[in-house]
Copies of this chain bind each other. A is one copy, B any other.
Amino acid sequence: MAVATQSLETLCINSIRFLAIDAVNTAQSGHPGLPMGAAPMSFVLWDKFIRHNPKNPKWFNRDRFVLSAGHGCMLQYAMLYLTGYDSVSIDDIKQFRQWGSTTPGHPENFETAGIEVTTGPLGQGVCNAVGLAMAEAHLAAKFNKPDCTVVDHYTYTIMGDGCNMEGISSEACSLAGHLGLGKLIALYDDNHISIDGSTDIAFTEDVSKRFEAYGWHVLHVEDGNSDLAGIEKAIAEAKKVTDKPSMIKITTTIGYGSPNRAGTGGIHGAMLGDDETIATRENLDWKYDFFEIPEDALSRYRQAIDQGAEAEADWEKTLSTYRSKYAEEAAEFERMISGKLPDGWEDALPTYTPEDKALATRKNSEATLNALAPALPELIGGSADLTHSNLTELKISGDYQKGAYENRNIHFGVREHGMGAICNGIALHGGGLIPYCATFLVFTDYMRGAIRLSALSEAGVVYVMTHDSIGLGEDGPTHQPVETVASLRAIPNLYVIRPADGNETSGAYKIAIQKRNAPTLMCFSRQGLRNLPGSSIDAVAKGAYIMSDSDGTPDLIMIATGSEVQLCEDAAEKLRGDGKKVRVVSMPCWKLYEEQDAAYKESVLPKAVKKRLVVEAMSSFGWAKYYGDEGDMISVDTFGASAPGGVVMEKFGYTIDNVVSRANALLS
């Protein structure tokens, strides 16, 4: 592997490689293989194509880049440092993977300016990229005018073999093909190596043909190690195809330059170490110090600073024209990209009285979504093929489709995991969009990888989950969430809300819309629930509150959520008739309750009242925290069963008589 005279291009490319090698060696952990192999495509992409402003990483009209193969993050940190981002200095790179650094082990948008989304769990990034491209297409269709283009950027992603093996990427890429997202360009780092070794052992499908089957424009650069012109030509061609997303397979050698470990699994995720680093430096004729970048190379990269400032200034001019010609649209556009919600949007939330008809909370959710739709033009989303069960259609809009990107009803298909990751992309795009997505609550299991990343990456996705308990009935245990809500409540930074009626549903949406840096997951019933006299929109924000009470210190507190609150109200009435002092607490959201001060918590659940009965038609897992050492719970700690919903509820003990009897047992 002899190396010719070092051209400036080669110096630039090797700069990426040695930053990765040195950083991983210093950290004694990390993944040098991908940055070394993908350095040429990255150089070409940033040098020739990516439009960004290093000194304003949040410039709205920047091209978005996602490193889907997030373990190769030293590639991305190298690009940020080389092109002049303040967030990643050479000292930060020396702190790769250390406590408190801006260069953690996988790219995290909330740690490092210039990182768009959080990747690492494989396959997520390319789906985020689909979401970013969908957001761009929507905003472009909504705001651009024939004589004035204020939204116009590409979304690029580098994905690896691992991303392509994950089913989540199949889901989102199939949808991207269906939608014809012409400004999405994926570079597939085809290096034939995954952690276990050659992809020959498990992954011999024809990836290009698969993407063609999805309706993508597919290209191949056979020598991704040295054919820079070929890479440039391919990306340029990809940009020309405007009605299909493009996938460019770029065949590379993982760990290129390492004489003994290039092209092997041994360089994927292990440092080179002293000997192999010396050998690689010799092989690539690299004469610079550790962490040193040749001045010429740095100057070339740092051209991005002036170019970026210029690009942003040009765009500002366009925006200024847009402002003068289309004042109203401009105001709306600038409001949205600033992340500010429209004044008074909360006024659109429906309110209910006990006289209003009992509805399933999924129907209350439908009413709320449709009430919010005109007030919140940034609300966009849909269901994973359960639109008429989840009731998530915005009736004022058509379907988001190829050529109709201005619409707000997205049909995700039966692709829950891809849906969640796409919504993360939409939420983190920076265009102010508020994505919502829906399926049956139990199928959050299919999309948990993406939900966790919503929470971790502070993406304000709104999850609309219906059919929220064994009360869904006939579909049976495969469809009945039992442990699902517990498993979701356990996720940090995720607001899980299970409303009891119409007002609580509006209250749940109020939180979901307000929380732009955290996801909210709402659980709605299939079956009808009456509107309770004590419920209120604002009380939901407290997480738990007194729904009804007896005078004086209660003998017993019943705590319930969702459909079980009305059951507790009925049981409490009976118990009060028997002279018992009973408080009913509705607890739609644990996390919001935990965020209240001690005085409020004591006012709702006084420590001294030890007789507590929790009633929730699902697993008791986690509830001991609230029912305590002397309390009890009516729960479902097995899987459910197939039968009409009312029958299932009865068989599992969700009847007034049983609640009264369990309450009396506690009191006796």
A residues in contact (CB < 8 Å) with B: 27, 29-30, 70, 97-101, 104-106, 108, 118-123, 161-162, 165-171, 174-175, 177-178, 194-196, 201-207, 209-210, 212-215, 383, 385-389, 399, 401, 411-418, 442-443, 445-446, 448-449, 452-453, 455-456, 473-479, 482-483, 486-487, 489-493, 610, 619, 621-622, 624-625, 628-629, 637-639, 641-644, 647-648, 651
CB atoms of A122 and B478 under 8 A apart: no
CB atoms of B415 and A165 under 8 A apart: yes
CB atoms of B492 and A639 under 8 A apart: yes
CB atoms of A479 and B120 under 8 A apart: yes
Which B residues touch A168, using CB under 8 A?
Answer: 167, 446
CB atoms of B196 and A205 under 8 A apart: no
Bound form: Cα–Cα A592–B4 in Å: 65
CB atoms of A639 and B177 under 8 A apart: no
CB atoms of B474 and A105 under 8 A apart: yes
CB atoms of B167 and A621 under 8 A apart: no
With A27-B474, A483-B492 known as contacts, the answer to whether A642 contacts B209 (CB < 8 A) is: no
Choose one: B99, B196, B212, B446; the contact of A209 (CB below 8 Å). Answer: B212
Q: By CB atoms of chain B within 10 A, which of A29, A167, A387, A647 has the most?
A: A167
With A478-B453, A639-B492 known as contacts, the answer to whether A204 contacts B215 (CB < 8 A) is: yes
CB atoms of A104 and B30 under 8 A apart: no
With A194-B414, A196-B386 known as contacts, the answer to whether A456 contacts B474 (CB < 8 A) is: no
CB atoms of B202 and A120 under 8 A apart: no
With A388-B196, A490-B621, A491-B483 known as contacts, the answer to whether A106 contacts B383 (CB < 8 A) is: no
Instruction: Closest B residue to A121 by CB, please name it.
Output: B478
CB atoms of A195 and B106 under 8 A apart: no
CB atoms of A643 and B97 under 8 A apart: yes
Write the nearest CB–CB distance from A223 to chain B, whole angstroms.
23
Bound form: Cα–Cα A389–B637 in Å: 34
Bound form: Cα–Cα A44–B467 in Å: 37
Choose one: B209, B385, B476; the contact of A162 (CB below 8 Å). Answer: B385
Choose one: B99, B388, B414; the contact of A651 (CB below 8 Å). Answer: B99
Write the nearest CB–CB distance from A401 to chain B, whole angstroms.
7
Write the nearest CB–CB distance from A528 to chain B, whole angstroms.
16
Bound form: Cα–Cα A397–B70 in Å: 33
CB atoms of A385 and B194 under 8 A apart: yes
Dominant secondary structure of chain A at its interface with chain B? loop
Instruction: Closest B residue to A651 by CB, please name it.
Output: B99
With A166-B171, A445-B452 known as contacts, the answer to whether A105 contacts B476 (CB < 8 A) is: yes
With A106-B475, A210-B210 known as contacts, the answer to whether A165 contacts B414 (CB < 8 A) is: yes
CB atoms of B175 and A171 under 8 A apart: no
CB atoms of A643 and B98 under 8 A apart: yes
CB atoms of B169 and A167 under 8 A apart: yes
Choose one: B105, B203, B622; the contact of A413 (CB below 8 Å). Answer: B203
**Copies of the chain in the assembly:** 2
Which B residues touch A166, using CB under 8 A?
Answer: 167, 171, 414-416, 446
With A475-B120, A492-B637 known as contacts, the answer to whether A642 contacts B104 (CB < 8 A) is: yes
CB atoms of A639 and B493 under 8 A apart: yes
Which B residues touch A214, using CB under 8 A?
Answer: 205, 210
Write the nearest CB–CB distance from A465 to chain B, whole angstroms.
15
Instruction: Closest B residue to A161 by CB, please name it.
Output: B414
Choose one: B170, B202, B388, B490; the contact of A619 (CB below 8 Å). Answer: B490
Bound form: Cα–Cα A205–B179 in Å: 11
CB atoms of B625 and A624 under 8 A apart: yes
Q: By CB atoms of chain B within 10 A, which of A442, A452, A489, A651 has the most?
A: A452
CB atoms of A175 and B202 under 8 A apart: yes
Q: By CB atoms of chain B within 10 A, which of A97, A389, A401, A492 has the most?
A: A492
Write the nearest CB–CB distance from A75 to chain B, whole angstroms.
16
Q: By CB atoms of chain B within 10 A, which of A195, A385, A417 has the most?
A: A385
- Give 5 A-B contacts (CB < 8 Å), ordered by A residue: A29-B473, A167-B417, A443-B449, A487-B490, A622-B624
Which B residues touch A29, using CB under 8 A?
Answer: 473-474, 644
Instruction: Closest B residue to A202 by CB, please name it.
Output: B413
Write the nearest CB–CB distance from A286 to chain B, whole angstroms.
25
CB atoms of B388 and A105 under 8 A apart: no
Bound form: Cα–Cα A606–B601 in Å: 29
Closest 5 CB pairs of A and B: A167-B167, A104-B642, A202-B413, A120-B478, A99-B643
Which B residues touch A27, using CB under 8 A?
Answer: 474
Which B residues touch A651, using CB under 8 A?
Answer: 99
Write the nearest CB–CB distance from A640 to chain B, whole angstroms.
10
CB atoms of A385 and B195 under 8 A apart: yes
Bound form: Cα–Cα A625–B648 in Å: 27
Which B residues touch A99, using CB under 8 A?
Answer: 641-643, 647-648, 651
CB atoms of B174 and A205 under 8 A apart: yes
Bound form: Cα–Cα A451–B473 in Å: 22
Bound form: Cα–Cα A204–B174 in Å: 8
Write the nearest CB–CB distance from A518 to chain B, whole angstroms.
12
Instruction: Closest B residue to A479 by CB, please name it.
Output: B120
